[in-house]
Amino acid sequence: MTNSTSPDQRAAELRDQLHLYSHQYYVLDQPLVPDAEYDRLFRELQAIEAEHPELRSPDSPTQRVGGEPLSAFKTVRHEIPMLSLDNAFSEDELRDFDRRVRSRLADEQSFHYACEPKLDGIAASLLYVDGILVRGATRGDGQQGEDITENVRTVASVPLKLRGAGWPDELEVRGEIYLPRAGFEKINASAREAGNKLFVNPRNAAAGSLRQLDSRITASRPLEMCCYSIALRDDQQELVASHSEALEKLAQWGFLVSPLLKVVDDIDGCLAYYRDLLQQRDGLPYDIDGIVFKVDELAVQQTLGFVSRAPRWAIAHKFPAQEEMTTLKDVEFQVGRTGAVTPVAKLEPVFVGGVTVSNATLHNFDEIQRLGVMIGDQIIIRRAGDVIPQVVQVVEGKRPADARPILVPENCPVCDSPLEKPPGEAVLRCTGGLICGAQRREGIKHFASRKAMDIDGLGDKLVDQLVEAGLIETVADLFRLEASQLAELERMGQKSAENLVAALEKSKQTTLPRFLFALGIREVGEATARNLALHFTTLAALKSASEEALLAVTDVGPIVASHIHAFFAVAHNQEVIDALLAAGVHWPEIAQNVSAQPLAGQTWVLTGNLDRMTRSEAKEKLQALGAKVAGSVSAKTDCVAAGAAAGSKLKKAEELGVKVIDEEGLIAVLKQGGQL
Rounded-to-integer distance, Cα 431 and Cα 418, Å: 6
Positions that interact with ligand IVH (CB under 6 A): 83-85, 116, 118-119, 123, 139, 176, 228-229, 292, 311, 314, 316
Q: Taking Cα atoms as reference points, which of 348, 337, 343, 353 lies closest to residue 387?
A: 353
For residue 346, indicate whether it is catalytic: no
User: What is the sign of the dihedral through the CA atoms of 281, 286, 290 and 291?
Assistant: negative
Cβ-based nearer residue to ligand IVH, 11 or 85:
85
Q: Taking Cα atoms as reference points, which of 359, 330, 522 lies closest to residue 427?
A: 522
Set 74, 118, 294, 651: catalytic member: 118
How many C-beta atoms lie closer than 10 Å to residue 494's C-beta? 11
> DSSP string covering 24-35, please?
IIIISS---S-H
Cβ-based nearer residue to ligand IVH, 307 or 387:
307
Cβ-based nearer residue to ligand IVH, 118 or 440:
118
Minimum distance between the CB of residue 175 and ligand IVH, rounded to whole angstroms?
A: 8
Given a contact cutoff of 8 angstroms between Cβ atoms, the answer to whether 608 and 583 are in contact is no
Minimum distance between the CB of residue 219 and ligand IVH, rounded to whole angstroms?
A: 22
Cβ-based nearer residue to ligand IVH, 141 or 664:
141
> DSSP string covering 485-540, please?
HHHTSTT--HHHHHHHHHHHHHHTB--HHHHHHHTT-TT--HHHHHHHHHHH-SHH
Minimum distance between the CB of residue 286 and ligand IVH, rounded to whole angstroms?
A: 11
Cβ-based nearer residue to ligand IVH, 229 or 322:
229
Minimum distance between the CB of residue 236 and ligand IVH, rounded to whole angstroms?
A: 16
Task: Output the residue with the shortest Cβ distance to ligand IVH.
Answer: 123
Q: Taking Cα atoms as reference points, which of 226, 261, 249, 310 lies closest to residue 112?
A: 261
Rounded-to-integer distance, Cα 97 and Cα 315, Å: 8
Report helix, strand and coil shares of the chain as percent, to nearest 5: 40, 20, 40
What's the number of CA atoms in the CB half-sphere (13 Å) around residue 550? 23
Cβ-based nearer residue to ligand IVH, 105 or 260:
260
Minimum distance between the CB of residue 288 and ligand IVH, rounded to whole angstroms?
A: 8
Minimum distance between the CB of residue 177 and ligand IVH, rounded to whole angstroms?
A: 9
What's the number of CA atoms in the CB half-sphere (13 Å) around residue 468? 8
Given a contact cutoff of 8 angstroms between Cβ atoms, the answer to whether 223 and 179 are in contact is yes
Cα 473–Cα 344–Cα 402 angle in degrees, nearest 5: 135
Phi and psi dihedrals of 671, rounded to 5? -65, -45
Residues acting as catalytic residues: 118
